[in-house]
Amino acid sequence: MSPARLAGLAGLAGLTAWLLLTATVSRSQEPPRTDLVTIEAMSPKQRALLGVVDGQPIPKRATLNLLRAAVINADLFEKYDHVGQFVVRSSRPAARQKELVILRVSWLYHSPYEWSQHYPKALELGLSPADINNIKIGSSHPSWRAQDKVILSAVDQLVIDGGLSKDQWENLQEYYSTSEVMTLITTVMHYHWAAMVSKSFHVGLNQELIGFD
């Protein structure tokens, strides 16, 4: 059953169907399908895109396994990276809500790579390990404040239905402007892209990080 077939299923029933549908996708790490681009092997364009400059410390950006995979297609990455950078730097949704969005997307799309990248960031922003574990449960968990419930529910609907219902739109408008809702949608889209790349290329976790477990 495709996500489109789930569009008519509402709320918890739809989410349950989605999770059952995707449960066969492994959350474990598999051998990489291609070598990541190393600093030494990068072309001048790849080095520029990842901020590598001779004689200067290697920027964190150039060490991220996902970007070392994405930059394999440097021409495409050059265009798409503008979207990613906008999402990362955008101040709305606020940082705490943004991490809720990213981790929920990572969980729903079974992306241990992005989960591992954003788990520490969520802790830095004041989310507890229990809070982060509750992201796996979603908006139905009783611990969430009203705004958290709204944004987590919006993520689920965007993933399951590919859009926002009238009620969901009105709930979001209590906290976010129309422009900010567009940013939210684009944030979900971007981290879906990240999940697809990391899972399709079997991008491994950066060594110091852990996945869902």
Kindly state the average pLDDT of the residues 131-141. Answer: 94
Indicate the range of 15-19, 79-83, 155-159, 176-180 predicted with least confidence: 15-19
- Determine the average pLDDT of the residues in 159-180: 95
Please write the tens of the pLDDT for every residue from 30-88.
Answer: 777 888 899 999 999 999 999 999 999 999 999 999 999 999 999 999 999 999 999 98
**Residue 91: what pLDDT?**
78
What CA–CA distance (Å, rounded) separates 35 from 72?
A: 10
pLDDT over 70 for what percent of the chain? 83
Residue with the bigger pLDDT between 14 and 169: it is 169
Q: Which of 25-39, 56-70, 165-179, 180-194 has the lowest mean pLDDT?
A: 25-39
| Per-residue pLDDT at 107 | 94
Domains and CATH numbers, the chain: 3-26+94-200 (1.20.1290.10)
pLDDT in tens, 6-24: 443 445 555 555 554 454 4
What is the reported pTM? Answer: 0.84
Task: Check residue 34 and give its pLDDT.
Answer: 85
Indicate whether 134 pLDDT > 60: yes
- At residue 15, the pLDDT reads 59
